[in-house]
Structure 1
């Protein structure tokens, strides 16, 4: 079945332009596409491969070496075979791929038995001189994201295993798609993508109807539908090839370079990568527009695509760019005597036209700061904003798990320090060379060894048992009743929970939010890796009504029971945020104590929100029933714990 045509996708000019510019100049660093589900992100990326010119490769080379300039370190070299042409590849990286599948692997058995280096190339080798597409890149393991981005930046992939090193060229256009609701990339990884584009489905009924019309037509007869757009796709492919040929001759003047530096400095981006990517994108846009010199319009377009994800100040800020600030920075750095292309957007004949290729919409999503105050609603509930977050104490899950790699609790993982070895029948991972040799050595005479090398059997292989850290499920069960709001504590409570959310973000945890107030409990946020979504729900959390503590605990127990089936390897950490009161319904206290008994074996902590001189100590009693650690609100911060330790040491002295 023929893929959906690139030119048949309705709307999304920003995404169209970013993909085209990355195809023209792979040095830009690829594209990260952020958007809600069902917005044709994957469809457009897969269609891009059909627009790229064919590549000439050495026949039989598994690494797609260019016959005109073969890689001198290619594992299949030296090359003297004929050249052949093939279409540019689109290689898709599965979310659950292992590291060996991505970078390639060495055959350890042949290396030990025959003394030869048998390297099996991975997906990076297959993507060389083509496209590497990672759907749901935010769900990919961090170490794989690091590997991908390092290869994309260096243009090479290296495999080192047991003293053997193999390296090969790996130059590709990296394209990632993600749904921000499912979690964000770490800022340092986000910065490694050259461009970013926010996409959303149109709210225009006519456009939505046209999307459905085209999709149904494609599903009914893919070949006929693709044929209707073949001429447009072919014309766009010619334009991309022409821009690629023009690219080396485009001039980036000193004035244009100063404009780029002024824009990047005005947005206070970290490091110099933003300046470099913006410059490369501006040059590519000039080539795409048929210009021999970079203009102000090229810089404007480049900044809209290269800077939004580089000006985030904390993990909970949404990426975006201020259009007025961008225009002011361009004007401040504009050289004397502006040329015909420097009159600003939308001015006369110099405004972006369809002949210049798809242009960005100009609405890249301004940052919105939440209101930190609290306003009572008509229903009597109150909305208190969160205070400033701080560095929280580290709370760990007891014992040793086997969950996803993270930075919170101890676990047996595929990385970390080696604490032992185990046979392949128990667990697989990276082979342990010395243990493998020891297992095979006593059997060599019986196996008829007659020369160099060892005679290995599969049962000889031993694998390293490594102890590292895992990410956990941090489930917050938050009391939002009237007693929390009436005593003006909710701002401090939200600051503490926000600080723990920030800690969960840094430790790659999954988070969930259960709230209880006014006689009922609800799952405000199902367990997710999107800590940003949890922070947003927390910010908007209302307070008021009685305290249904039992209902909150029962709902938390239900969520943990479901998650134990859905994600059994991820161990939970329950955080109950309350003053310990139970005032809703008959026998509220007794029912709460009974509900606390449902969490046997679950590591828990009770964040005690009770303040004032006269304290009832109900949260401490709840912690005792839960078998949880009791943590007063003022001791959530890491600095407060350090201060308490120093104070006790001084008193002891």
Structure 2
């Protein structure tokens, strides 16, 4: 077995280590979501934490890790009698992004349940993680229905498995940790809120610290056992401190003054609901216990706010998480309570502020999330090159109507187009391919009924065999690839026009975020087209590229279409099941090179020949209109809409016309 990297050997990342340790002290805090770029020790720190947790006492042979001191009365392996006990290390269970629902929650043997009335249950990862750590890397890429199951179990402390009236329930209390790279897409706000704490991590820009990271990593890889031995003392000290903090936790007093500060802070930052208040209270209490105190101080409330509130302030996916620390300090000062005792006068005591931090201590969270610069600040934008204008700001986004791709797909779960999925309304039945996951009870009974006499049925039970089982076929919704092809040539350079175009595209990006789509952005101007953003689940990245898009030059429409077609070809190889929708934003003009209009027409017919759904946003303006965008839409086999119609929230409804034409 590979020796894990020691937790105390992680360089920097104080906020990450503190958040993990607080959850180790008090799992009621609700877990940690770690956001950050790749290569920032997210996974390393999480995996190392399990070695610091105290051993767990369990009932021998219980697959659900029941505590012998208080066994679960509803444990599927129970009842447990006799008080037998054994101990084992706390587990770290990893949930793969591509896991099935049965792998997560467990599976019932439906055949035995119908034929014998036996609840034959195979535990899933939630049972394995009970009283340990459940780690989800790339949690933002996990299917929504799995995230819902996961967070429901984390909130209730139990997992329920139900199949056609047969149900099993078992305890599932664990420390939930998720890591994600925001560049690959965001979690929905309601799911963000279910994580107790969040931490933003980034690689250090200090050369000395980066050198130390490399030095320790190389030393560990060369001789993991020797490296772990060097840090054994620090690991033991942190482990003992966790145990001491757990013992102290029930004695920590959360005074009225601290509670007022918590409530005032949550109100001042306008967080939704009451979960933030509860998480802050639990976090502040855990901070006090970690510091060896029995009273919660204002500094605990401040640190709790920095860990518990930033991700709860996002109103849409383009809002950067963060907290205004000046506003936080002002709120805490205004509602400072008089019942807060003086800080521990002993600087060398556990967690004392005056001495050297103990192993695993973390300093105050920086929280310095740089504000995104607003376009247009400092005066009118200046030209950035000959025939080119710098970017203009997008108009205010609006609510878009539902886009959909015609037909029925089989892509990744989402909320846009019709698809055959594992979840949704039942539309029929078929023989199962592999493991049965969704039983169609009526079809199963119908298949078994004619054979009951031949099978010697003598009692009330139905004699069911494997060949009788029928899998339910279901129809739900899928996510699509929405590929924007945006004309950034000189004919589009009018500020008001481009602002409106960007506002419309931004609206569709918001819609794509809510519907769990992938998005991509191709732009064309001058003499060529470029992929401004390859297909991704991060609408934040798409919005940023759109906002900074300059305009100017000729209109190489054919190049834009051909580049978009190439993007779709490559993406089809990577994800053949995800169907595309192409949104071309242009005035229809084609200039530059020999026969630009004819070449654009030939490029457009490639999309029509492959049945790719498309919408053309006609950006032509003025009293005289040539109708070139409409001609382009006809070549694409899609639908055109004028720029004026975008302001009426009509762009997303255009695919209805696409559907009718495809029917």
TM-score normalised over the length of structure 2: 0.93
Residues 46/550 of structure 1: CA separation in 2 closer, same or farther (3 Å cut): same
Q: Deviations over 1:141-198 (max 9, x none)?
A: 0111111111111111111111112111111000000000000000000010000000
2:195 — aligned with what? 193
Determine the C-alpha separation between the residues in 1 that align with 2:301 and 2:447. Answer: 62
What residue in structure 1 maps to residue 300 of structure 2?
Answer: 298
SS at match of 1:167: strand
> Of the candidates 626, 634, 638, which is equivalent to residue 624 of structure 1?
634
Give how far 1:341 is off: 3.5
Q: How does 1:513-552 map to 2 (within 5 A)?
A: 513-552=521-560
Deviation at 1:641, TM superposition (A): 8.2
How many Å separate the matches in 2 of 1:350 and 1:219? 35
Q: How does 1:102-141 map to 2 (within 5 A)?
A: 102-141=104-143
Residue 493 of structure 2 corresponds to 485
Which one of 397, 407, 413 corresponds to residue 405 of structure 1? 413
Please give the per-residue CA displacement for 1:208-228, whole angstroms capped at 9, x wherever unaligned: 111111111111111111111
- State whether structure 2 residue 357 is matched by structure 1 residue 354: yes
Contact persistence 2:53–2:90 (CA under 8 A): yes
Residue 433 of structure 1 pairs with residue 429 of structure 2 = no
Distance 1:277 1:578 in 2: 49
**Pairing partner for 2:573 from 546, 562, 565:** 565
Answer yes or no: is the 8 Å Cα contact 2:15–2:364 preserved in 1.
yes
Q: Which residue matches 1:45?
A: 46
Counterpart contact for 2:257–2:338, Cα < 8 Å: no
Answer whether contact 2:113 2:166 (CA < 8 A) is retained: no
- Secondary structure of the corresponding residue to residue 453 of structure 1: coil
What are the Cα deviations for residues 25-63 of structure 1, in whole angstroms up to 9, with x where unaligned? Answer: 000000000010111111110000000001111111111
Structure 1, unpaired ranges of 5+: 344-348, 645-653
> Aligned pair 1:390/2:393, yes or no?
no
TM-score, with length taken from structure 1: 0.94
Taking the aligned partners of 2:363 and 2:648, their CA distance within structure 1 comes to 45
CA shift, 1:449, in A, is 4.1
User: 1:458 and 1:564, CA in 2 relative to 1: closer, same or farther beyond 3 A?
Assistant: same
Q: 1:292: how far off?
A: 0.6
Aligned residue runs from structure 1 range 305-316, under 5 A: 305-316=307-318
Work out the CA distance in 2 between the residues paired with 1:456 and 1:103: 25
Within 1, Cα distance between the matches of 2:649 and 2:206?
52
User: What are structure 2's unaligned runs of at least 5 residues?
Assistant: 346-351, 655-663
Give me the whole-angstrom Cα distance separating, in 2, the residues matched to 1:239 and 1:320: 30
- In structure 2, the partner of 1:555 is 563
**Number of matched residues?**
639
Of 363, 370, 374 in structure 1, the residue corresponding to residue 366 of structure 2 is: 363
8 Å CA contact retained: 2:485, 2:564:
yes
Distance 1:427 1:641 in 2: 42
Q: Distance in 2 between matches of 1:596 and 1:120?
A: 53
For each residue in 1:236-255, what CA deviation from the matched residue of structure 2 results, as whole angstroms up to 9, or x when unmatched?
A: 00001100000000000001
Structure 2 residue aligned with 1:589:
597
Secondary structure class of the residue paired with 1:201: coil
Distance 1:41 1:98 in 2: 24
What secondary structure sits across from 2:630 in the alignment? helix
Partners of 1:628 and 1:234 in 2: CA distance: 66
Q: Which has the higher mean CA deviation after the structures are superposed, 78-87 or 376-385?
A: 376-385
Deviations 1:313-357 (A, max 9, x none): 2221111111111111111111248653399xxxxx856851495
Could you give the per-residue CA deviations for residues 241-281 of structure 1, whole angstroms, max 9, x where no partner exists? 10000000000000110011111111111111111000100
- Give, in angstroms, the shift of residue 450 of structure 1: 4.9
- Of residues 439-448 and 219-228 in structure 1, the stretch that sits farther from structure 2 once superposed is 439-448
User: In the alignment, which residue of structure 2 is the partner of 1:216?
Assistant: 218
Q: Does 1:634 align with 2:644?
A: yes
Aligned pair in 2 of structure 1 residues 193, 643: CA closer, same or farther (>3 Å)?
A: closer
